[in-house]
Structures are given as C-alpha cells and as structure tokens.
Structure 1
Amino acid sequence: MTVMPTEPHPATDALIDRWNVLLERCGATAAPEPYCRALLARWAEPQRRYHTTDHLLAVLDEVDLLAAHAQDPDAVRLAAWFHDAVYRPDRSENEERSARLAIRALGEAGLSAALIAEVVRLVRLTVDHHPAPGDRNGEVLCDADLAVLGRSPEAYARYTAAVRAEYAFVPEDVFRRERAAVLRQLLALPALYRTPAAHARYDGPARTNLAAELAELSKPVP
C-alpha cells in the first residue's frame, strides 16, 4: 500500500531537487519528479519506523561523503533511493521487490540498460551487505547503509528502538534471539566497513555499540 504522509517531510523539496538533478544527469528522457514523489510516498508508509525518509536522507548524505571511492557514484545514489523502497517488516523479499521497482521505474524514465542493471545489482546487494573485493560501488552503498551502526550511543539507541518498533509483532524472546544472532555475525566480521573513510570513522564506534546492545539482549527478559 502506498500512502502519502499527512505532513510532508521537512526535506521533501530538497530531496526532490536532488532526485531531479540526478535523473537529468543520468540521461532521463521522462520528467523525473513524478517518480520521486512516488518513491517518497513509499518511504513514508505507516509501517516504517526506521526505514523512513530520514534513513533515505542519511544514506544519500553518506553516499555523497564516500562518493570519491565509487566507480559510478550516481549509480550508487540511485540504488540508495531504491534500496528500501519496498519495505514490509513481515516479509523477506523486500530487496528483490525493490530491485524490480527500480527496473520498472528507471526503465520508464529512460535510463540506459547498463545503468539500470548496475542499480539493480546494488539494490540486491543490500540483502547481505557483502560486496565482493574490488566492488567499489557496492562498498560505498553498503557502508552508507550501515553507517548508523557507528553513530553516537544516543543515535544508536534511537536506531535500535525504531527497529524494535518495526518488529513489534515479534515476541520479545524471539526478537532478542534473532537480533543477537545478527549482532554476533556482524561482530565476527574482520571489517564492518570496506571504504577507508567509513572504516576509520565508524568501525570502532560500531563495534562498541553492537557489543553493548548484545550485552543488553543477553539479560533476562523483564
């Protein structure tokens, strides 16, 4: 279901401007703004608590910071717009459905087949956030998407609260078990971030945040 927000996000106009410039730079042959408004409506759907317009904005800003590392920064920016465009917390095919949306929307907008293929590949990469060595576009998108893990403890707490709210339908003991398993997998990675800039900025704080959350999840359920 697509629902327009009752109150527009404060950054809506700026996001539309960014999208229009991006699509024009990428060679769109159709008016880009209607596609943007449809995407923003998706990002504002009521079931979202973390995967919201704020998350989209944060990922786009982070991609801009890391853009020098990418082989095709604009492909990464397009992938950021679509990576959670379809999001239902009770379903497992969100990334694939988001990728299919990108194929349809960007094709209608007149972008090249090669660019669309790269955007779709990047969207699908966010299933596991494991780009292959040398995949510089994938490294930028994944690092931008995971940058929240390395924010301040206060920002990280807001993130975890929003994630729990998205999964409010999951019983507490099940959520704790499954979330703890995800955190252990992340902590076991030799590097949470692949780009030098993101690794230097976020890896240490992210590991501290993840370990603290894992310790909290390990406590008995109240």
Structure 2
Amino acid sequence: MPDRFRTAARGAGATTSDTDLDAAANYLLGRWAEPQRHYHDVTHLAAVLDVVDRFEHLAPNPDRVRLAAWLHDAVYDPRALGDANERDSAEFAEGLLLSLGAPDEVAAEVARLVGLTAGHATEDDDPDGELLCDADLSILAADTERYEQYTSAIRREYAHVPDDAFRAGRTRVLTELLKLPSIYRHSEIRAEWEERAQANLTAELAELA
C-alpha cells in the first residue's frame, strides 16, 4: 500500500523524499486501522483505490483522485456531527500534502475533492470529483452477501446509537441517495452499477421500514 501512496503523490507533484512519503502512507494506514472503524477501514480504502485505478481514464487528474481516496476518511469519528469528519479530513489533507511538498494548487484541489464525499454531490464538469464519489459509493452495487456485510459493519460503527434513531438516520441517508438523479455520475460506471445499487438501497429501505 505505501507504494500506491508514493506513486500517486509523486504523480501529483510532491517533492519530499520517498522516506517521508512512505512514513506518511504508514501514518495514514494507522488511521485507517483505528478500532472504531468497521467499514471505513483499510479494506474500504483499497476498494476505492481499485475503482479509481480501473476507471482512471475517466479523470483528467487520477493521481489527485487517488490522494483524495487516501485522505477522504483520514479523520473518522462515528460520533461526529454533520459533515465534521469530511471537513476535518479535507483540512488535514491540505496540510499533509503541503508538508510533503505538493504544489499549493494540488493540496487545495485534493482537499476540495475530499469535501465532496460529505454529500456525494458534484457540480457539472467535475470528472475528478465524480470518479471519487463513484468509487466511494461502489459498495452500494455489491452482491447481496457483500452488501449485507457492509450494512452490518456500518451498524457496528454506530453501535452507540439506539436502534430507532439509527433506523431513522439510515433511512434519511438512503432516501437522499435515491433522490439523486443517479447514484453514479460517470456514464460508464452508471451503466454497470446503477441498477444493482438502486435495488440494494431499495431493499434496505424496505427492511428498515
């Protein structure tokens, strides 16, 4: 995994030493392995990176998208309110990348991309942001067994929330996703995953009800 971070950082213009890049990668992996994470963990990180690699041809700046994938849940506290995790992750991302010698523009853009994962809504003509959001939501198009593992892991992350409150909150999240014009932005990804994701979300909503 550190080699994937190093390659992306170099591709995005980071000028620090390989030793520093590897240290940053290992520090991030430590964050992704924190005990409160049951879904938002290293497995999720690797899955998002795999999607970005597969569909990198859809993004003008795939290395920036890869860095945003590494950093989009760098701060993750299930007890945080609103989009605090995404805001804090974006701020952390910009600071870290600047410390690694990334150009100001790159650090700011990666932070912007990280912020998009709060609501997974992008503006028109934002293929980098669209790829990150599509990759982050790729789990929604998983097969039935994997999707059930995902929902179970999410529930464990929110074990501190009573059942009624969790059902209400989860229902709001799924409903907002289903209100989007489509869950996936890129047409190539949408053609492959949209139908399955819609079915998974609809089935989960029925169970929550």
Report the TM-score when normalising by structure 1: 0.89
Query: Aligned partners of 2:14 and 2:129: how far apart in 1?
Result: 23
Indicate yes or no: 2:35 matched with 1:46: yes
Q: Kindly state the Cα deviation for residue 105 of structure 1 after the two structures are TM-superposed.
A: 1.0
Deviates more, 1:180-189 or 1:82-91: 180-189
Q: Kindly state the Cα deviation for residue 28 of structure 1 after the two structures are TM-superposed.
A: 2.1
Q: Kindly state the Cα deviation for residue 30 of structure 1 after the two structures are TM-superposed.
A: 1.7
Name the structure 1 match of 2:57. Answer: 68
Name the structure 2 match of 1:142. Answer: 133
- 58, 62, 76: which is aligned to 2:47? 58
Indicate yes or no: 2:167 matched with 1:163: no
* Partner-residue secondary structure (3-state), 2:55: helix
| Paired letter, 2:64 | A
Q: What does residue range 80-95 of structure 1 map to in structure 2 within 5 Å?
A: 80-92=69-81, 93-95=84-86
Root mean square deviation, CA, Å: 0.9
Q: Kindly state the Cα deviation for residue 24 of structure 1 after the two structures are TM-superposed.
A: 2.3
* Partner-residue secondary structure (3-state), 2:137: helix
Q: Kindly state the Cα deviation for residue 96 of structure 1 after the two structures are TM-superposed.
A: 1.0
Q: For each residue in 1:46-88, what CA deviation from the matched residue of structure 2 results, as whole angstroms up to 9, or x when unmatched?
A: 0100000000000000111121111211111110000001000
Q: What does residue range 177-196 of structure 1 map to in structure 2 within 5 Å?
A: 177-196=168-187
Query: Aligned partners of 1:27 and 1:153: how far apart in 2?
Result: 40
Name the structure 2 match of 1:117. Answer: 108
Name the structure 2 match of 1:200. Answer: 191
The sequence identity of aligned pairs, in percent, is 48
Q: How many residues are treated as equivalent by the alignment? A: 204
Query: Aligned partners of 2:69 and 2:29: how far apart in 1?
Result: 12
Query: Aligned partners of 2:10 and 2:178: how far apart in 1?
Result: 40
Shift of the 26–181 alpha-carbon distance from structure 1 to 2, 3 Å rule, reads closer
| Paired letter, 1:22 | A
Q: Kindly state the Cα deviation for residue 127 of structure 1 after the two structures are TM-superposed.
A: 0.8
Q: For each residue in 1:91-143, what CA deviation from the matched residue of structure 2 results, as whole angstroms up to 9, or x when unmatched?
A: 03111111111111111100101111110100011110001011111100000
Indicate yes or no: 2:5 matched with 1:19: yes
Report the TM-score when normalising by structure 2: 0.95
Q: Kindly state the Cα deviation for residue 44 of structure 1 after the two structures are TM-superposed.
A: 0.3
Name the structure 2 match of 1:11. Answer: none
Query: Aligned partners of 1:25 and 1:137: how far apart in 2?
Result: 15
Q: Kindly state the Cα deviation for residue 26 of structure 1 after the two structures are TM-superposed.
A: 2.5
Q: Kindly state the Cα deviation for residue 208 of structure 1 after the two structures are TM-superposed.
A: 0.6
Q: Is the 8 A contact 1:147 1:198 kept in 2?
A: no
Q: Runs (4+) of structure 1 moved beyond 6 Å? A: none
Name the structure 2 match of 1:4. Answer: none
Query: Aligned partners of 1:140 and 1:108: how far apart in 2?
Result: 26
